Amino acid sequence: MLFELRNYFALPGKRDELVAAMEERILPYQVAKGVDVIASFVDEENPDSYFWIRRFDSEEQRVELYAKVYEDDEWVNDIAPQIPKLIDRDRSQITRLNPTPASPLS
């Protein structure tokens, strides 16, 4: 099992718009494709920071689901072009996490 902790930085003043896009379009779209979205958060101390977590059963599943999501026409033509209007991709951080044996998530 593996997790991705994704930290996006909204363009200044765009975090509410980013949260709305994530919750109304992006997360439901990914869930419909089979992605297990665990949670999403805003940072209390940074007004531009947004986090979300995805879970995958294996690296093979992650690769399969990435293809389902990111190679799909709806993503390529409709969703992806909107993202640069909301986030600073250069500041985005994606951390891959593996739960420890005693973790309740393992």
Give backbone dihedrals phi and psi of 93, rounded to 5 degrees, phi first.
Answer: -130, 130
Q: Give the pLDDT confidence score for residue 106 in this predicted structure.
A: 79
pLDDT in tens, 48-65: 999 999 999 999 999 999
Domains of the chain: residue spans and CATH: 2-97 (3.30.70.100)
Give the whole-angstrom CA distance, residue 49 versus residue 54.
Answer: 17
Average pLDDT over residues 37-50: 97
Average pLDDT over residues 17-39: 98
pTM: 0.92
Closest listed residue to residue 31, CA positions, set 57, 54, 4: 54
Q: Give the pLDDT confidence score for residue 70 in this predicted structure.
A: 97
Q: Where are the alpha helices (DSSP H) in 34-103?
A: 59-70, 73-74
Give the whole-angstrom CA distance, residue 62 versus residue 94.
Answer: 14
Q: Cα dist. 14→4, 11, 69 in Å?
A: 23, 5, 24
